Structure 1
Amino acid sequence: MAVERLNNVAHAIGGIANLGKNAPQGDEVAIAVMGPTGVGKTSFINLVSGSSLRVGRNLVSCTSVVQVAPPFLLDGRSVTLIDTPGFDDTNRSDADILKQIAAFLATTYQNGKRLAGVIYIHRISDVRMGGISTRNFRMFRQLCGESTLKNVVIVTNMWGEVGREVGEAREAELASDDRFFKPVLDQGAKLLRHDNTTESAQAILHYIFGNQPLSLRIQRELVDQKKDISQTAAGEELNRAFAEQMKRHREELATLQQEMRDAIREKDEQAKKELLAETKKLQTEMARVENDSKRLVSDYAKQQAELQKRMTDQAEEAKRAVEKADREYQNRMKELEDHWRNTSQADKNEMNRQFSELQQKYEHTQQLYKSSSSSGGGFFSNLGRALDGLFGLSA
């Protein structure tokens, strides 16, 4: 019995090197979840995956960088959900957000991985699709590109916060108005409801299961076409937004300057003081926007290269640990096998216990390799840890 178990363990350990390349690729599903800050992206992921990603409870965003939830099984498929920050983050600029998302997507694509789909979440409780939501959705479209929209699911949530008739009226407007979701739906995207239950969340994922994984526009632009991030459609969209902001700020500054001249002429000291404070605040904001625009073209290549290096280092470290454990296990099993034939029954019982411990160590090593291999959820988990390290979220 023990010898048979010994042979089974030896055979299993001998297959460690093939774990990654023998994993069934067709059963792996990676899905990105996008949308403005506070729409419930992280809550959706935690609900359906059983994860415990941190959720924001106020206006301050908790998802400041791309987060990868641990893979989970659904109908025999390994599912990995990717949580992304919105382009209205309270802690990081839009330029930093775009660089983070772009670095993640480019690294994914370079490693031969494609997303099965993208979920975009919108609150049906919003009275209207305001400036923040509109800007986020424009950036989302530029990231995806037209050819990928058939793999997109637009999810409306927070239905419990509105009456049914009100919600359905808003949904109909979103689906039929060219200013909102109609152009995307016309290209094959799907509009689905989420009622905050695990069942509805799983139904959304089931819809994506049937997709053929595709590359996003920004992945092709950065990797295949080797564009600078500012030359991508998303980068150009962000630069247009920067230009519009600067134009508005210059107009506001001109108005303040005129009001300042009027206050000086009228010797209104209180008005001068208030206008000076407003002017200083506006100039600070203008400097921030200009700095964000400049930062868009800097750091991305370095950031992406560092991300790839961290992944490579992690994979090499795991590989070395597995190889070391393999040698130790093989040596220890040989020792046990040599002693087996010449031992008493009591000693054999003790050796059975040691065989069990050896099996447990092997299973732990196997799990370590899977979590750091380049296949499926392991790849995305590895990438998530590299992102945490890159942006200072882990030791």
Structure 2
Amino acid sequence: MVTNQDKITVAIMGCTGSGKTTFVNLVSGSTLRVGDGLESCTTEVQLSIPFELDGRLVELIDTPGFDDTSKSDADILNMIATYLCDTYRTGKKLAGVIYLHRISDFRFGGIATRNFRMFRELCGESTLKNVVIVTTMWSEVTPAKGATREHELATNTKFFKSAIDKQALLLRHDNTLSSAQSVLHQIIHNNPRSLRIQYEVVTQGKDISQTAAGEELGRELAAQTRKFKAEMKALQEQTNAAIKAKDQETRVELEEERAKLRDQMMKAQMDTDKLLSNFKEDNERMEERLKSMEVEHERQRAELEKQLAAAKDRAEQDAISARLNELADGGFFAHLGRAFDSGLKSLGGLFGF
């Protein structure tokens, strides 16, 4: 019989539309919502139903990508960090992380680069031996074209080579159950490891903005701000020239562009502010939830021990002992995932969805 002591947890990450939720549903039998197009449906951290594989109870964490269509990168980082760090405080470590990438992508563009860079900073170098990079969407390319792209991904330092050099695996997923299970076979017997962001926040006591992932996002937001300021200056010069030339039509068009640019600059500033403030508030709320759950767990244990002491019938004693063993065998942690699943839905309100 598989128990909670045999349960392992695996996180699924990657760009929007890479097939994360589809992979989770396929291998676990869950019914998490899947997006039909480029718009993200995974606007929160989601948990699969636990399922058995090779004598282990497996639970998958489905995460939104850093190119989410409805949330900022700061929101996504706060959301993922809050979940990972609070589960880490309960003693739960990840057996591995699966990063999905579309082999059908013609180019490894800026969005994919940013996603993988944030992924690397979240995981840290020492955890890469527990990482599997999985290419998806093979049905959308010819075998020859797919193999060429796969080779480039594996051998180009701009892509996945540096991670593979540190023992990350590169595998294919052809959207079949056997393929998904083969990917998990590479992970489920790993020694669980903490991710860099978990160690930084929980062990070192860093704020999210001080972590490697937070600093990477901060650098990107600062670069965006510098770019926007340069563009704003150029637009102002063009507007001044249009005014001088009495070119009303051009002046109006340039003013519209400046207004759009101002909105982008404000968004970048808001994301920076969120990076500094949201995580602390969300983490405190989640810690309060954990403490209340721990109190309830202890209350149940004490009540069962009291019932056991008063029980005279052997069958009743055995039944109570079994319930106590279930609690000691991870009953609290077994219910924790479901509690987080519902808790994160309400937590979503903090992020504006």
TM-score (norm 1): 0.80
Residue in 2 aligned with 1:354? Answer: none
RMSD: 2.8
Tell me if the contact between 1:307 and 1:387 (Cα under 8 Å) persists in the aligned partners: no
Which residue matches 2:341?
384
Amino acid corresponding to residue 51 of structure 2 in structure 1: F
Is 2:28 the counterpart of 1:49?
Answer: yes
1:41 positional shift: 0.3
CA 1:392/1:327 → structure 2, altered by over 3 Å: closer, same or farther?
farther
Partner Cα distance (2:267, 2:149) in 1:
36
For the residue of structure 2 that corresponds to 1:38, the secondary structure is coil
Partner of 2:15, secondary structure, is coil
1:29-62 alpha-carbon deviations (Å, 9 max, x no partner) = 1000001111110000000000001111123211
2:47, 2:60 within 8 Å by CA — same for their partners in 1? Answer: yes
2:121 to 142, 149, 155: 142
Does 1:219 find its partner at 2:219?
Answer: no
2: distance between equivalents of 1:115 and 1:130? Answer: 29
Q: Mean alpha-carbon deviation: is it higher for 183-192 or for 201-210?
A: 201-210
Q: Deviations over 1:186-210 (max 9, x none)?
A: 0000001000000000011111012
What is the CA-CA distance between 1:314 and the residue it aligns to?
A: 4.3
1:205 paired residue among 184, 193, 197: 184
Point out where structure 2 has 5 or more consecutive residues left out of the alignment. none
Structure 1 segment 77-88 matched on structure 2, within 5 A: 77-88=56-67
Partner Cα separation in structure 1 for residue 217 and residue 158 of structure 2: 18
- The corresponding residue for 1:19 is none
Alignment of 1:249 with 2:207, yes or no, is: no
Larger relative contact order (CA 8 Å, sep ≥ 6): 1
Q: In structure 2, which of residues 208, 213, 217 is the aligned counterpart of residue 234 of structure 1? A: 213
What's the offset of the Cα at 1:386? 2.2
Distance of 2:330 and 2:49 partners within structure 1: 12
Corresponding position: 1:283 with 2:250: no
Q: Does 1:374 align with 2:332?
A: yes
Counterpart in the other structure of 1:92:
71
Is the contact made by 2:3 and 2:57 (CA closer than 8 Å) also made in structure 1? no
The aligned amino acid for 1:105 is L
- Return 5+ residue gaps in structure 1 as ranges: 1-21, 338-357
Q: Structure 1 vs Structure 2: percent identity of aligned residues?
A: 50
Question: 1:372–1:382: structure 2 CA closer, same or farther, 3 Å change rule?
Answer: farther
- What's 1:63 paired with? 42
CA distance in 2, matches of 1:325, 1:382: 22
Query: 1:242-391 residue pairs with structure 2 within 5 A?
Result: 242-314=221-293, 316=295, 373-375=331-333, 377-391=334-348
Distance in 2 separating the partners of 1:370 and 1:52 = 30
* Contact preservation (8 Å) 1:319, 1:369: no
Aligned to 1:70, the other structure's residue is in SS state coil
Q: Determine if contact 2:127/2:194 at 8 Å carries over to the other structure.
A: yes
Is the alpha carbon distance of 1:70 and 1:308 closer, same or farther for their aligned partners in structure 2, counting shifts above 3 Å?
Answer: farther
TM-score of the superposition, structure 2-length normalised?
0.89
Q: Secondary structure in 2 aligned to 1:33?
A: strand
2:40 aligned partner, one-letter code: S
AA in 1 matched with 2:65: G
1: CA distance, partners of 2:329 / 2:30: 16
Contact 1:119 1:155 in 2 (8 A): yes
Aligned to 1:102: 81
Note the C-alpha offset of 1:74. Answer: 1.5
Q: Which amino acid aligns with 1:288?
A: K
Q: Does the residue aligned with 1:117 lie in a helix, a strand or coil?
A: strand
Q: Deviations over 1:165-214 (max 9, x none)?
A: 00000000000000000000000000010000000000111110121100
Q: How far does the alpha carbon of each residue in 1:52-82 deviate from its partner, in whole angstroms, 9 at most, with x for none?
A: 0111112321111111112111222110000
Q: How many residues align?
A: 343
Q: Distance in 2 between matches of 1:222 and 1:325?
A: 36
Call closer, same or farther: CA 1:221–1:297 in 2, change over 3 Å.
same
Counterpart residue type for residue 373 of structure 1: G
C-alpha distance 24-371 of structure 1, shift in aligned 2 (>3 A): closer
